[in-house]
Amino acid sequence: MIPNKGKYHFTSESVTEGHPDKVADQISDAILDVILSQDKNARVACETLVTTGLAFIAGEITTTGYADFPSVVRETIKDIGYNHSDMGFDWETCSVISSIDKQSADIAQGVDRDDPESQGAGDQGMMFGFASDETETFMPAPIYWSHKLSRRLAYVRKEGILDFLRPDGKTEVSFLYEDGVPKKIDTVVVATQHSENVTHSDLVDAVREEVINKTIPGEYLDKDTRIFINTTGRFVIGGPMGDCGLTGRKIIQDTYGGMGNHGGGAFSGKDPSKVDRSAAYMARYVAKNVVAAGLAPRCEVQIAYVIGVAEPVSVLVTSMGSSELPDELLTKAVNEVFDLRPFYITKRLDLLRPIYKKTACYGHFGRTNPDFTWERTDAVDDLRTAAKV
């Protein structure tokens, strides 16, 4: 639990779209999108591994649609920016291998129903959502600004502003909190892949000026703020050549940067019947509306399911001690306002659409894209009425 009193530091990290694990996430979600665009009732669980010169696709897919896996993989890699063979991984020459089976009939009989409203959860487990009033997007400040830096790294690379940058990169931001409020940034860390034709000192100066100074507001920085840029001195070998990438290995940067809890399930490559994804999106939607309604400055929601059963086995809404309203009242209000059965989650958030590739980097939450329906705050009035405030 994050303290509400006293001084403390909290740190979160983000990665760019060229990080090998994010390459894998984007490929898995690109395949999901292609299939959902043809068959909204498809069952998809697609995993990706990327390494030097190779992308390997595996999983379980049941669909009436068709996906040309090599084309989807190559187009995704091209969009990210791996377009030169000297990177050890590029869209034109990498091998693509696939091993796809159908979804288990044993799972399907527990999920699919003649009556769609009684659709069972696709797995057991607990999912969490979180929201905080410390940024305009109701996200924690450390992950919010870490994502901003990562997006800026990709922007200056793709626009040619810093043409020596390559796709792989990571950022990290440490905030000083006082009584639960982010006051200033203590530390900024940037690690970015680059070509051989730039000196370390030139890269440090350019990243400081074009990325950090043009992203982080001056009010958060002072003379004591520590800035670390490419501290090993060299980052030429990167991406899938530098590290093997796998779907689902960046679940903390996908969510809230470590603030709040995580149920352990990854999102990318999974259709909405998998509550790992859909219920986590719903939990974020609920938590954000609780905070936007003014019921709590911080809110965490836990929803738990049993495979094949529609109703959640438990729902907990907590302000983590930040609200005068008791958690019991918040939980009761949420249960009155929201139907948390899988069918109704999918319906309310309109999840049977090919919208998932764009979620696969820079966080699934705190985004302003209108396709991210779980970021709406359209339940505020209903929650206030249910809570009688």
Q: Which residues are annotated as a binding site?
A: 19, 21, 47, 60, 103, 168-170, 234-235, 243, 249-250, 266, 270, 274
Hey, is 249 helix, strand or coil?
coil
DSSP state of 103: P
Q: How many helices (H) and strands (E) does the chain have?
A: 10, 11
Cα-based distances in Å from 156 to 11, 206, 272 = 24, 10, 34
Order of strands, edge to edge, in the sheet holding 43-51? 95-101, 54-62, 43-51, 245-246
DSSP 47-73: EEEEETTEEEEEEEEE-SS---HHHHH
Q: Cβ(182)–Cβ(134) under 8 Å?
A: yes
Cα-based distances in Å from 206 to 148, 153, 162, 194, 212 = 17, 11, 8, 12, 9
Place of tokens 């009688």: 388
List the binding residues for K(+): 47
Alpha-carbon distance 298 to 292, whole Å?
10
List the binding residues for ATP: 19, 168-170, 234-235, 243, 249-250, 266, 270
- Cα-based angle 181, 186, 190 (whole degrees, multiple of 5): 120
List the binding residues for L-methionine: 60, 103, 243, 274
Alpha-carbon distance 43 to 53, whole Å?
29
List the binding residues for Mg(2+): 21
Alpha-carbon distance 321 to 319, whole Å?
5
Copy the structure tokens of residue 320: 């983590």
